[in-house]
Amino acid sequence: MDPVIIFFLIFILFCLFMIYYTSHQKSKIKKNILNLKNEKNATIFMTLSHFYGLPIAENTITQILSCPNEYEFLANNNSFKLSKEKVTDISITNDVDIQKNNVSSIGSAIRWCHVIWTNWSNDWW
């Protein structure tokens, strides 16, 4: 048999195996999420990258469950519970928003530095 045909057959078998394996893993993950939601009596489940607010490192993958009376954050085998009564604001930021905040903060700092310097230099001379 020609080596090209053998390689092609092996490649097709590999592709079929990967399709089966990934679909099986995906259904397994969905079942685990559903079990977790049922166990915690949660209505919403999300997996997000943590940015700020919890005592964990930035960009840690965090699972968030919305239970009837609280939010539960699961990250690095740690669980944090936050009562819904204590939540005043929830915001989801992306890289563009963070960059705009940093640029405006730097711009404000430069402006304040300029204002203080001009006032100080006018008084000094």
Mean pLDDT of 104-122: 52
Look at residue 18 and tell me whether its pLDDT is greater than 70.
Answer: yes
Q: How far apart are CA 31 and CA 24, in angstroms?
A: 11
Mean pLDDT of 104-115: 55
**Angle, alpha carbons 105-91-83 (nearest 5°):** 125
Mean pLDDT of 56-64: 85
**Tokens matching residue 38:** 């049922």
Mean pLDDT of 19-35: 92
The pLDDT of residue 41 is 87
**Angle, alpha carbons 15-18-21 (nearest 5°):** 155
Look at residue 99 and tell me whether its pLDDT is greater than 70.
Answer: no
The pLDDT of residue 5 is 92
**Residue 8, CA distances (Å) to 4, 65, 76 in order:** 6, 45, 42
The pLDDT of residue 119 is 47
Total length of the chain: 125
Instruction: Assign 67 to helix, strand or coil.
Output: coil
